[in-house]
Amino acid sequence: DSGVTQTPKHLITATGQRVTLRCSPRSGDLSVYWYQQSLDQGLQFLIQYYNGEERAKGNILERFSAQQFPDLHSELNLSSLELGDSALYFCASSVGSGAPNEQFFGPGTRLTVL
């Protein structure tokens, strides 16, 4: 158990819909990262927040957005969902923002768009 929690574990929805994925970092970690992993693919970095502020952006679509709240939990919002958005979405957390930096991953949310 990494200490990072994600809810829900599974999510099934229809195209065009909007969903919210939630992540709680490990106690004491200030950074939260979001990743997308499509079937049999590697991890694609989406976005990072540090202590409530956006710190780095990866290949995140404009239909996706995220935020980190004062209690440091984070939410990833996915809207106008398409079939291709079906994937595992992982959240990771780390103590700081820059190097050295060890990221610990949550169990993931499996999103299925029908």
Partner 1 sequence: GQQLNQSPQSMFIQEGEDVSMNCTSSSIFNTWLWYKQDPGEGPVLLIALYKAGELTSNGRLTAQFGITRKDSFLNISASIPSDVGIYFCAGQQPNFNKFYFGSGTKLNVKP
Residues near partner 1 (CB under 8 A) are: 2, 4, 33, 35, 41-45, 48, 50, 55-59, 88, 90, 92, 97-108, 110
State the minimum distance, in angstroms, from the CB of residue 35 to partner 1: 8
Measure the CA–CA gap between 42 and 21, rounded to whole angstroms.
20
Q: Shortest Cβ distance from residue 69 to partner 1 (Å)?
A: 20
Tell me the two tokens of residue 11: 């999510």
| Block residue for tokens 């158990």 | 1
Measured from the CB atom, the residue of 70 and 100 that comes closer to partner 1 is 100
Q: How far is the CB of 75 from partner 1 (least distance, A)?
A: 18
* DSSP state letters, 2-46: -S-EEE-SEEEE-TT--EEEEEEPPTT--EEEEEEE-TT---EEE
Scanning the structure block, which residue is given the tokens 């929690």?
Answer: 5
Q: How far is the CB of 16 from partner 1 (least distance, A)?
A: 27
Are 75 and 82 in contact, with CB atoms under 8 Å apart? Answer: no
Nearer to partner 1, 33 or 78 (CB): 33
Q: Which is nearer to partner 1, 18 or 21 (CB)?
A: 21
Taking the least distance from each CB to partner 1, the nearer of 16 and 96 is 96
